Structure 1
């Protein structure tokens, strides 16, 4: 049976500091579970101001920074879970979302939320297949 390994990264890796008590990622065999990333600037630990498109770009940069620690990329994502605080942003979010993938899109769930940590408008977590 594979062993579960948790990872927490320093902001010098481009991964922002956590906003709560959690690991940035947990690996189980060839599967990586990436904690929901916020639109946080890794250099300052502060929320990036802006609309859903600006914040989505930062969230994807943060996710890519976590994946880079494992030699993985966004196209390795199997499942994506998105949280939006305003569903009137859904179409604008989707237009930005698809620009981050070059291969077939992963499975996805998008959930409306009344609030997210640090006042963000978007949060995204991933389940990723790691190539051996």
Structure 2
């Protein structure tokens, strides 16, 4: 199957040369989303890790829906935190609200030295439709 390179209307503009998602053979690879509150990458982020986590999840939802996918098809998630020790527990509380217990994707969460435009969090994911 030829890959489909998605640019989703309503999702934040890219901060680098990438597609919002790439789809191939039932798989969907979603580029890491930042906490931009609209499509412009020049708008300020919301304050605090809770608000930034909700905004990233909203942006991921926009990309998923634009590709015809939903949260129930998400298999793996990677989370990048700029202030790991400070933000980990609060981020987890927000993140957990998006997936029911017993149906949570595999996940990796790592601390990083920096993220684009000074974000506290970035999340990417992989989904699959059978």
TM-score when normalising by structure 2: 0.91
Residue in structure 2 matched with residue 129 of structure 1 by the alignment: 128
Residue in structure 1 matched with residue 56 of structure 2 by the alignment: 59
CA RMSD of aligned residues (A): 1.4
Deviation at 1:43, TM superposition (A): 4.4
Residue in structure 2 matched with residue 6 of structure 1 by the alignment: 5
Residue in structure 2 matched with residue 98 of structure 1 by the alignment: 96
The answer for unaligned runs of 5 or more in structure 1 is none
For 1:35 and 1:127, the matched residues in 2 are separated by 9
Structure 1 pair 92–22 and aligned structure 2 pair: CA distance change class (3 A): same
For 2:87 and 2:53, the matched residues in 1 are separated by 11
Tell me whether 1:82 sits opposite 2:79 in the alignment: yes
For 2:73 and 2:58, the matched residues in 1 are separated by 15
The answer for unaligned runs of 5 or more in structure 2 is none
Kindly tell me the number of residue pairs found equivalent between the two proteins: 127
1:37–1:62 Cα contact (<8 Å) kept: yes
Residue in structure 2 matched with residue 70 of structure 1 by the alignment: 67
Instruction: State the Cα deviation string for residues 2-56 of structure 1 (Å, max 9, x = none).
Output: 21121112xxx32111111000000111000000000012244324231111000
Deviation at 1:71, TM superposition (A): 2.1
1:56–1:122 Cα contact (<8 Å) kept: yes
Residue in structure 2 matched with residue 24 of structure 1 by the alignment: 20
TM-score when normalising by structure 1: 0.90
Q: 2:34 aligns with which of 16, 35, 38?
A: 38
Instruction: State the Cα deviation string for residues 65-121 of structure 1 (Å, max 9, x = none).
Output: 001112211221100000001112111110000001136000000010010001100
The runs of at least 4 aligned residues of structure 1 exceeding 6 Å deviation read none
